[in-house]
Amino acid sequence: MSPTPLKVAVTGAAGQIGYSLLFRLASGALTGGAPIELRLLEITPALKALEGVVMELDDCAFPSLAGVEIGDDPEKIFDGVNLALLVGARPRGPGMERGDLLSANGAIFTAQGKALNKVAADDVRIGVTGNPANTNALIAASNAPDIPKERFSALTRLDHNRAISQLAAKTGAAVTDITHMTIWGNHSATQYPDLFHAQVGGRNAAEVVNDQEWVESYFIPTVAKRGAAIIEARGSSSAASAASATIDAARDWLYGSAENDWVSMAVVSDGSYGVPEGLVSSFPVTTKDGDWSIVQGLEIDEFSRGRIDASVAELEDERNAVQELGLI
Ligand code: NAD
Ligand code: LMR
């Protein structure tokens, strides 16, 4: 008998990220080839386009794809899902910051949080990719009182992967030699990609690079503003890389991160590293069997403290803004 398929919901499934994400999911990139059932949510006007995407999924004859359901009713689509990837939200355009999307996108996550609360499987995990991702995750979690807050996370894995790629290019190392990378804070221009705890081939990355000017004037802004650079170059926001990071994050969460390394995930703070309890902020985490834990005991110097505090202050402002909008 074949194993029960993992039921995975994807919202915004007819969008740009969806067009890359669905095919990777269906081909087994998340489950390692084990069966997966896709539950695809869209707004009513996009359902026709989504039907076309499903025709293409059919045409791939993926052995691991055990079924596809589409619809515009979150309570039907989220029914019994083990994983919900909340991608559907408006992307920013040139000149906008992700936080500018709060009022446009926030309401999506109240309704979806409520629906997940009602109908998702008991073991559900919820990954938020739609921007502003951290605060949208906070909104969804606040509207799902019966789902433990630890089951919600927001995507900073794309930033994490971007940081690895930049460090590999600078040092001439392979991406597989870069470990212990951390993104702290918000998935925004204030995020802090931390080189001081990262390693290149087991050596401290800051010492290998030995160039504080490069860290401050090139590495941090390049990673933090990569999304804007892509929008500027492509005319639309990152899609394939966002889909790939969404899968990396979900795979590690569900099936465990590599031993002797950690990953970056935006998760609800327990007060670690001075991040106020309850904010959804990015931390270094290890994951095992669907649970994450924040890596403890890292020394935070004055430079890193200032960067983390600035990003956390922005998260507090976002939380205040959605409180005022009545979304949490
Ligand atoms: P897109 O506009 O191409 O697609 C978004 C889709 O969401 C559309 O098809 C739209 O119809 C759908 N949608 C809107 N409201 C919905 C709702 N209530 N329920 C279900 N579906 C709904 O956008 P995209 O390029 O796919 O990006 C999606 C989101 O992901 C944006 O907010 C973008 O900024 C964000 N993003 C985040 C990261 C990250 O690293 N966290 C990276 C890239 C993009
Ligand atoms: C990204 O980081 O590429 C996305 O969040 C899209 C954006 O608005 O930058």
Residue-wise pLDDT tens digits, 306-324: 999 999 999 999 999 999 9
Spatial distance between the Cα atoms of 160 and 225, rounded to a whole number of angstroms:
13
Q: Which numbered atom of ligand 1 lies nearest the CA of 129?
A: 41
**The pLDDT of residue 186 is above 90:** yes
Q: What is the pLDDT of residue 88?
A: 97
Ligand 2 pocket test: which of 237, 244, 282 has the largest number of ligand atoms within 8 Å of its C-beta?
237
Which of these ranges, 176-180, 181-185, 219-223, 254-258, has the smallest mean pLDDT?
Answer: 254-258
Task: Indicate which ligand has the atom closest to the C-alpha of 95.
Answer: 2
> Is 131 flagged in the annotation as binding?
yes
Count H helices, E strands: the chain? 12, 14
pTM for the predicted model, two decimal places: 0.98
Contact 6, 30 (CB under 8 A): yes
**Does residue 238 line the site of ligand 2, with CB under 6 A?**
yes
Spatial distance between the Cα atoms of 30 and 204, rounded to a whole number of angstroms:
31
Percent of the chain with pLDDT over 90: 92
In which band, very low, low, confident or very high, does the pLDDT at 132 lie, cut at 50, 70 and 90? Answer: very high
Residue-wise pLDDT tens digits, 141-168: 999 999 999 999 999 999 999 999 999 9
Contact 237, 133 (CB under 8 A): no
In which band, very low, low, confident or very high, does the pLDDT at 2 lie, cut at 50, 70 and 90? Answer: low
Percent of the chain with pLDDT over 70: 99
Length of the chain: 328
What value does the mean pLDDT take over residues 287-293?
A: 95
**The pLDDT of residue 227 is above 90:** yes
Ligand 1 centroid, distance to 65 Cα (angstroms): 23
Spatial distance between the Cα atoms of 214 and 212, rounded to a whole number of angstroms:
5
What value does the mean pLDDT take over residues 6-10?
A: 98
What value does the mean pLDDT take over residues 276-288?
A: 97
Ligand 1 centroid, distance to 92 Cα (angstroms): 10
What value does the mean pLDDT take over residues 53-71?
A: 98
Q: Which numbered atom of ligand 2 lies nearest the CA of 96?
A: 8
Query: Strand 199-200 to strand 203-204: parallel, antiparallel, or no bridges (unpaired)?
Result: antiparallel
Q: What is the pLDDT of residue 181?
A: 98
Residue 59 corresponds to which amino acid?
A: D
**Does residue 197 line the site of ligand 2, with CB under 6 A?**
no
**The pLDDT of residue 250 is above 70:** yes
Contact 323, 222 (CB under 8 A): no
- Residue 22's Cα: distance from chain center in Å? 16
The residue whose CA is least distant from atom 1 of ligand 1 is 15
Residue-wise pLDDT tens digits, 111-124: 999 999 999 999 99
In which band, very low, low, confident or very high, does the pLDDT at 97 lie, cut at 50, 70 and 90? Answer: confident
Q: What are phi and psi of 268, to 5 degrees?
A: -65, 130
The residue whose CA is least distant from atom 25 of ligand 1 is 16
The residue whose CA is least distant from atom 30 of ligand 1 is 130
**Which of left, alpha, beta for 157 (phi over 0: left; psi -120 to 50: alpha)?**
alpha
Q: Which numbered atom of ligand 2 lies nearest the CA of 230?
A: 3
- Reduced to 3 states (helix: H, G, I; strand: E, B; else coil), residue 322 is helix
Q: How confident is the prediction for the chain on average, in pLDDT?
A: 96
> Is 71 flagged in the annotation as binding?
no
- The answer to whether residue 197 is catalytic is no
Ligand 2 pocket test: which of 86, 96, 98 has the largest number of ligand atoms within 8 Å of its C-beta?
98
78 Cβ neighbours under 8 A, 6+ residues apart: 9, 39, 41, 84, 112, 115, 116, 118, 119, 120
Q: What is the pLDDT of residue 54?
A: 98
- Reduced to 3 states (helix: H, G, I; strand: E, B; else coil), residue 127 is strand
> Is 112 flagged in the annotation as binding?
yes
Q: How much of the chain is in helix, strand and coil states, percent to nearest 5?
A: 45, 20, 35
Ligand 1 centroid, distance to 243 Cα (angstroms): 11
**The pLDDT of residue 182 is above 80:** yes
Residue 256's CB is within 10 A of a number of other CB atoms, namely 14
The residue whose CA is least distant from atom 4 of ligand 1 is 15
Q: What is the pLDDT of residue 106?
A: 87
Domains of the chain: 6-154 (3.40.50.720), 157-318 (3.90.110.10)
In which band, very low, low, confident or very high, does the pLDDT at 3 lie, cut at 50, 70 and 90? Answer: confident
> Is 212 flagged in the annotation as binding?
no
The residue whose CA is least distant from atom 2 of ligand 2 is 227
Residue-wise pLDDT tens digits, 21-36: 999 999 999 999 999 9
In which band, very low, low, confident or very high, does the pLDDT at 103 lie, cut at 50, 70 and 90? Answer: confident
**The dihedral sign for the CA sequence 261, 265, 270, 274:** positive
